[in-house]
Structure 1
């Protein structure tokens, strides 16, 4: 997670001021907590919704100011997935 955070910083996706190690530890703990609470309360029936909600809260605080994706739209990728890319064409 720490390496992914550093990569995201270098690609100007998240703010340079984010401490990569601290964010990695926070994210793992948050993700684990979301899964545990969902397991206890709903037998994980709502785990994807809870993960999406977690990202809706986290993303606005970490996205780089020049990263122009909508945080809510990004968090919805949890449940909708990325759009399929066309297959590469042969040269």
Structure 2
């Protein structure tokens, strides 16, 4: 068995890594948006009183976060299509290209 064949001959590993990073960024954006809708608090935490540092720290601009989320969705779509083409070309090379 040829170990590492896919990683040495294609960009599959870097594309998969990019997808993982994009998922983490999307989760971060979703977390910030959800906290913004709860007035910067966690769903299970007690509400912060007005005027405390927790209530006024780092206000979230929901519009900017939604733009960032749309950008991440485009990146995921493009990366997944590149990964699909990489696997398709690898499959074609393994089969002999005449299939």
Q: Compute the TM-score of the two structures, normalised by the length of structure 2.
A: 0.30
Q: Compute the TM-score of the two structures, normalised by the length of structure 1.
A: 0.32
Higher share in helix? 2
